[in-house]
Structure 1
Amino acid sequence: MTCAMMKSLFGHKAWANAELFDVLETLPAGPDQHTAIRTMNHIYVVDRIFQAHLLGQPHDYQGTNTTATPTLSELRRAVTATDAWFQEYIASLDDGALAERLRFKFTDGDAGTMSREEMLMHVITHGGYHRGNVGQILKNVSIAPPRDLLTKFLHIADPDRRG
């Protein structure tokens, strides 16, 4: 995969997260909202764990979610900042850097080795999977989830593609 494609994928991720947070603001308080926030927080925590792995730095997470549940607005701010970090990080890479393999520790203490590309793809696919889980929560309470398709994002980001 190229850095250009990674830029598109992480642009899409940031856009899809923003679209989903817009809809989550309409979800009434209660168990469904709590589950949606916990799921979005899980995405955020995993993003932050892999951010640390990419930087070769330790992180303070003991697992893939936090004990405390943030408010929706707190989480949205944190996710927006992390999405921006990933976009800036990818902009600083070249295609050769994507192949570099990095060693790290999983939250369970096991050792791991992945290329930057593999780590970044994990962040993309993991987030997409769990945004789908949140979309199902919304459907279950008769709220239409956003259509966070890559094709839609590409045409919004570059309207000339429609020409």
Structure 2
Amino acid sequence: MSIATLISLFGYKAWANSELFALLATLPAEHAEEFHTCVRTLNHVYVVDSLFRAHLSGEPRPFDDTNTKTTPSLGQLREEVAATDAWYQRYTSSLTSEEASGVLDFTFTDGDRGRMSREEILLHIVTHGGYHRGNVGQVLKSISVVPPRDLYTRFLHQSEPARRAV
């Protein structure tokens, strides 16, 4: 996979997260249980993103599990996710092809050992986030709320309108 594609995918991830958080901020109070499920799910994504960020940067693991015991507020989580998305965008923008293929050894939160290339880690972060945004979308559909259209093609055509001119 090219570095340009990774950069684009992390732009897409940040865009999709922003759209989803904006919608969740408008959810009526009568859907508190579903709202909580959505925030817990997105917090899990944030924690996993943070764990792999630590692996990529050689920093200590910031969490000992794949979710936190307490649930952050939507506003707090939104800020943390935006900062983490921005970090991944900067990281991919500065990555070389040689660095992307470099393999890292790490330990998962359950104690199992792992080995992945930086490129594989980055692809995991993108696909893992998309999977769980889809989970949140299903929760929203269950309460008759239309989730954002979380499509890479939509992102590409909105971020590069000239693509529609062909």
TM-score, normalized by the shorter chain, greater than 0.5: yes
Once the two structures are superposed, the pairs formed by residues 18-57 of structure 1 within 5 Å of their partners are 18-29=18-29, 30-57=32-59
Aligned-pair CA distance for 1:59: 1.4
Query: Aligned equivalents of 1:24 and 1:136: distance in 2?
Result: 13
Query: Aligned equivalents of 2:128 and 2:98: distance in 1?
Result: 24
- Tell me which residue corresponds to 2:115: 113
What CA deviation, in whole Å up to 9, does each residue of 1:131-150 have, x standing for no partner? 00000011001110000100
Aligned length: 163
What CA deviation, in whole Å up to 9, does each residue of 1:35-56 have, x standing for no partner? 0000000000000000001012
* Sequence identity (%): 58
Q: What amino acid is aligned across from residue 31 of structure 1 in structure 2?
A: E
More deviation, 9-18/50-59:
50-59
- Tell me which residue corresponds to 1:151: 153
Q: CA RMSD in A?
A: 0.7
What CA deviation, in whole Å up to 9, does each residue of 1:92-146 have, x standing for no partner? 1111211100011100111111000010011001000000000001100111000
- Tell me which residue corresponds to 1:162: 164
- Tell me which residue corresponds to 1:11: 11
Query: Aligned equivalents of 1:96 and 1:2: distance in 2?
Result: 11
Structure 1: 5+ residue stretches without partners: none
Query: After the TM superposition, which parts of structure 1 deviate over 4 Å for at least 4 consecutive aligned residues?
Result: none
Q: What amino acid is aligned across from residue 147 of structure 1 in structure 2?
A: R
Aligned-pair CA distance for 1:28: 2.6
- Secondary structure (helix, strand or coil) at the match of 1:113 reads strand
- Secondary structure (helix, strand or coil) at the match of 1:85 reads helix
Given that residues 99 and 117 in structure 1 are in contact (C-alpha distance below 8 angstroms), is that contact kept between their aligned partners in structure 2? Answer: yes
- Tell me which residue corresponds to 2:79: 77
Given that residues 49 and 61 in structure 1 are in contact (C-alpha distance below 8 angstroms), is that contact kept between their aligned partners in structure 2? Answer: yes
- Tell me which residue corresponds to 2:138: 136
Q: What amino acid is aligned across from residue 52 of structure 1 in structure 2?
A: A
